[in-house]
Structure formats: structure tokens, C-alpha cells
């Protein structure tokens, strides 16, 4: 199947107008993010069931593609990062998605099954991986990149049909819809600034005023990353946030001692010092839960065994039914069931575990 190259609004609009509203679009994206906060969308590959189009997003605009994303179900594989790239480019998240990685997991495959592996497993086709880490923003794209991009959606309709058929036979298609809706909702969720510290690696090691300082520094770091379109680590690394939070000093000598880049010190030194003082006067948030105690570890072992038994009876991987953090949360707060353990999981795994608890 030969692809069509699209790099102007007229071609995209003409094609879009001929699509029925019920037509699913089998889609993948290529983007770059090494030196930016927002992913830079470089290419969108779309299979409409008849033809593959490679859309050059260095020429096309977000308004050209936004109607496609809003009016059609987008079928993708392992799409969490693609969703973010689409939202950054078009200004909004898609209206509806179907993720074939989730579909494969619900049929009994590994939860992190890659696209190349699922194509090989279901269709016997070996796909090359050579162009994965190339520069997708550079033009012209190489023949290797173009063929790689085409392959990323060429087999997606057939893969989807096979997996959908298996889910229907297993009575799990509604589970797939629920999981895809959950994934889309999670992608759209915005972390409240006052909770930004929870995403800092190592935050669970802090408490007291050190945690109060981290709770002030983290939202500032995140806001600067967005405004300057820089990776968060280019503003301040997680380890530097922790070191600053632990320190009792408020002088510029601290910065060189902690290894802050001179450019960071020149640009943000005064602000950071002011934030340190603000944090030391603030009220610490509730710390993250510590590691499980002996009793909780014993309960977790019992519950994991039960999860394994249930998963085996359903020919599913245990971590598709129950993630570690969900299990620990259920043990700590059995009256506050994590949202993913509602819905289809409730009767299958949540209720039996609550009965054991």
C-alpha cells in the first residue's frame, strides 16, 4: 500500500470532507521532546481503512487536524504520549480513542506489548525498528523514515479487527471501552499546583519543613517549564529540588554547592531564595505514605496470591487486574477504593480482595 504525502490545508480538507463520521482513523504520531516541555509534533500517520496519509505537521496547522481528532474515533497503540502530542498541536485531546495495547492486555497478553511485537504475533510480519530514534522534524525525511512511518499504521486495522474479535468472544469489549475512556480522562487530568511536589522523584523521603519547601518550589518549577517550553529538569532537576528543600541555608553559596548551573543562578537565584523562605514559613502537606509495615506486607502477599489465582482462571496477566500501587492503597484505605478498581474490575477482583481484608 503506497502512502500519500499531505502538507497543505486544501488536501487535508478535501480528504476530511469525504470521510463518513463513523469512519475510525488508525493513527500514530512522531514527535520530538528532548529539549522542550511541550512535545513537537512532526508527523501524523493516518490509515482511514482504504489509504494511508502521512501528514506533515511542520506545514499543516492544528486547525487542519483538530476536526479529525474531534469527529472520529482514533485507534492507536500505546497512545498516552501521542495524546499529549495531539493536544499540544491541536489545542485539545481527541474525543474518543481505542488503544490496541490495552485490547491485547485484556485478551491475556503482556500489559506493555509493543506494536512491532503484536504485529509479529498476530500477523507474522516483522517490522524494522531502525528509524525509531531519528530526527522527525528534519526535512526531507529519509526513505527509511517514510517506510517506518507507513508501517506504523499499515497493519493497525487488521490488528484491531483481530483483537476486537477476541474481546467480543471473551465478553470483554465493554472492558476495553472503559479502559480507553479511563486512559483519555487520565491524560486530560491536570495536576493541581499544590500537588506538584508529589511527582518529584524522592518526595516520599521528605517530611516537615523540608516538605513544605518542596511544595512551594515544585509548582514554580513546573510553571517555569511550561512558560519557557523547557523540560522540567532544565529549570531544576528533581535531585536539586530535594537538596534545596533539605537545606537550612538561604544564600547564593548554596547554589554552587548543590551544582546549580550558573545560568539558572543568574536567572532565578533571587526567586529561589525567596521561595525557600516562603516554604520554611509554610505548613507542610501530608507526606506520602511510607513503605508498607510488616502487617501490610503480609496482607499484600495474601492478596497478590488471590489476584494471581483470579488472573490465571481468566488467562490474564495479574498486573492487568491489579497494579502494585492500587493494592497498597486498598490495604491502607479499604473504604476508599481506587477508581481503576471500580467498573469491570469491581466484582472480578476488588470485591474478593475486600472480603479477604
Percentage of the chain lying above the pLDDT 70 cut: 100
- Return the minimum-mean-pLDDT range out of 25-29, 250-254, 280-284: 250-254
User: What are 149-159's pLDDT values in tens digits?
Assistant: 999 999 999 99
Task: Indicate the pLDDT class of residue 250, thresholds 50, 70 and 90.
Answer: confident
User: What are 284-300's pLDDT values in tens digits?
Assistant: 999 999 889 999 999 99
Residue 36: is its pLDDT beyond 80? yes
Residue-wise burial string across 335-350, b where 16 or more C-beta atoms lie within 10 A, e elsewhere = eebbebbebbbeebbb
User: What are 301-310's pLDDT values in tens digits?
Assistant: 999 999 999 9
- Helices 238-246 & 262-281, crossing angle to 10 degrees? 50
Instruction: Give the model's pLDDT for residue 132.
Output: 77
Instruction: Give the model's pLDDT for residue 1.
Output: 60
User: What are 172-190's pLDDT values in tens digits?
Assistant: 999 999 999 999 999 999 9
Instruction: Give the model's pLDDT for residue 301.
Output: 97
The structure's pTM equals 0.94
Asked whether 47 and 153 are in contact (CB, 8 A), the reply is yes
Cis bond leading into 212, ω under 30°? Answer: no
Task: Indicate the pLDDT class of residue 130, thresholds 50, 70 and 90.
Answer: confident
Name the nearest CA neighbour of 218 among 275, 283, 282, 280.
275
Q: Which domains does the chain have, with CATH numbers?
A: 3-188 (3.30.420.10), 193-281 (1.10.150.80), 294-356 (no CATH)
Residue 120: is its pLDDT beyond 80? yes
In the predicted model, what is the mean pLDDT of residues 91-110? Answer: 97
CA-based torsion, 237, 243, 247, 249: positive or negative? negative
User: What are 269-285's pLDDT values in tens digits?
Assistant: 999 999 999 999 999 99
Amino acid at each position: 500500500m503506497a502512502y500519500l504525502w499531505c502538507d497543505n490545508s486544501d488536501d487535508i480538507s478535501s480528504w476530511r470532507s469525504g470521510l463518513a463520521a463513523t469512519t475510525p482513523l488508525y493513527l500514530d504520531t512522531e514527535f520530538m521532546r528532548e529539549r522542550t516541555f511541550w512535545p513537537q509534533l512532526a508527523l501524523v500517520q493516518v490509515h482511514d481503512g482504504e489509504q494511508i496519509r502521512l501528514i506533515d505537521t511542520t506545514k499543516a496547522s492544528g486547525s487542519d487536524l483538530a476536526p479529525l481528532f474531534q469527529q472520529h474515533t482514533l485507534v492507536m497503540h500505546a497512545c498516552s504520549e501521542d495524546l499529549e502530542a495531539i493536544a499540544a498541536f491541536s489545542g485539545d485531546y481527541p474525543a474518543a480513542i481505542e488503544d490496541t495495547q490495552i485490547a491485547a492486555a485484556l485478551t491475556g497478553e503482556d500489559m506493555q506489548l509493543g506494536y512491532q511485537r503484536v504485529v509479529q504475533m498476530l500477523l507474522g510480519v516483522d517490522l524494522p525498528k531502525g528509524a525509531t530514534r531519528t530526527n522527525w522534524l528534519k526535512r526531507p525525511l529519509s526513505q527509511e523514515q517514510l517506510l517506518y512511518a507507513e508501517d506504523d499504521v499499515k497493519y493497525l486495522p487488521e490488528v484491531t479487527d483481530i483483537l476486537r474479535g477476541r474481546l467480543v468472544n471473551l465478553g470483554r469489549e465493554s472492558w476495553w471501552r472503559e479502559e480507553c475512556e479511563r486512559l483519555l480522562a487520565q491524560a486530560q487530568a491536570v495536576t493541581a499546583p499544590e500537588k506538584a511536589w508529589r511527582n518529584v522523584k524522592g518526595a516520599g523521603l521528605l517530611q516537615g519543613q523540608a516538605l513544605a519547601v518542596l511544595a512551594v518550589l515544585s509548582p514554580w518549577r513546573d510553571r517555569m517549564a511550561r512558560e519557557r517550553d523547557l523540560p522540567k529538569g532544565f529549570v531544576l532537576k528533581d535531585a536539586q529540588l530535594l537538596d534545596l528543600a533539605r537545606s537550612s541555608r538561604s544564600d547564593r553559596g548554596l547554589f554552587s554547592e548543590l551544582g546549580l548551573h550558573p545560568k539558572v543562578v543568574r536567572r532565578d537565584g533571587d526567586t529561589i531564595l525567596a521561595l525557600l523562605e516562603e516554604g520554611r514559613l509554610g505548613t507542610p502537606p501530608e507526606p506520602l505514605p511510607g513503605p508498607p509495615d510488616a502487617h501490610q506486607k503480609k496482607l499484600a502477599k495474601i492478596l497478590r496470591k488471590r489476584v494471581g489465582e483470579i488472573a490465571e482462571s481468566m488467562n490474564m496477566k495479574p498486573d492487568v487486574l491489579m497494579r502494585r500501587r492500587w493494592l497498597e492503597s486498598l490495604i491502607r484505605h479499604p473504604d476508599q477504593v481506587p477508581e481503576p478498581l471500580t467498573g469491570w474490575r469491581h466484582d472480578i477482583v476488588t470485591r474478593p480482595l475486600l472480603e479477604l481484608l
